[in-house]
Amino acid sequence: MLRPLLVLFVLLTALTGVVYPLVVTGIGRAAFPQEVDGSLVRVGGNAVGSVLIGQSFADPKYFWGRLSATAPMPYDGTASSGSNLGPTNPALLDEVKARIEALKAADPGNTAPIPVDLVTSSGSGLDPDISPAAALYQVGRVARARGMAPAELQRLVRTAIVPPQWKVFGEARVNVLLLNLRLDRAQ
């Protein structure tokens, strides 16, 4: 009785623990090679980031993304989680106020309403995208820091907008890493 159970255990372990993962990985690599490798963005052969994970941009000459909720380092892909702070939590309110103050200090002449995605983190804490409104809100600061015409920068932002999938699912968005790389190439 013990021998058939052991044979079945070894066979199923090999099938589900070795064969199945290898087959699925092989199919994934053949059908979706970019995605299987983490959707890495390469510049000059070097990986500079992923379109799936946000990055920290603090320099005024770059567009800034959403806040990261990962700890202890921002945008840590191994620590994906939301902040779990409710709308009445004083810590969340303090975080939002601090981000509003930072945005106003970086661009004191901007009196437009600040888009909510610039002052809150996403559910994963790793969101690489911002809304078109959040990107356009930052045009003045980035244009001044780079010595560019705001209209030229607005055109660049508008070309970086990704529409909802099949024009139905999701929201229009702008990938911050790809926008900043386009910005570097444009100058």
User: What's residue 68's pLDDT?
Assistant: 82
Pairing label, strands 129-130, 161-162: unpaired
> How does pLDDT run across 3-58, given as a tens digit for each residue?
999 999 999 999 999 999 999 999 999 999 888 888 888 888 898 888 888 888 88
φ, ψ for residue 73, nearest 5 deg:
-105, 140
- Of residues 141 and 126, more confidently modeled: 141
For the chain, the structural domain boundaries read 1-37, 40-186
pLDDT tops 80 at residue 77: no
Query: DSSP string spanning the chain?
Result: -HHHHHHHHHHHHHIIIIIHHHHHHHHHHHH-HHHHTT-EEEETTEEEEETTB-----STTS---PBP--SSSTT-GGG-------TT-HHHHHHHHHHHHHHHHH-TT--SPPPGGGTSB-SSS---EE-HHHHHHTHHHHHHHHT--HHHHHHHHHHHEEPPBTTTBS--EEEHHHHHHHHHHH-
- Of residues 69 and 62, more confidently modeled: 62
User: What's residue 128's pLDDT?
Assistant: 92
Cis previous bond, 90, omega within 30: no
- Residue 147 pLDDT class (50, 70, 90 cuts): very high
User: What's residue 106's pLDDT?
Assistant: 92
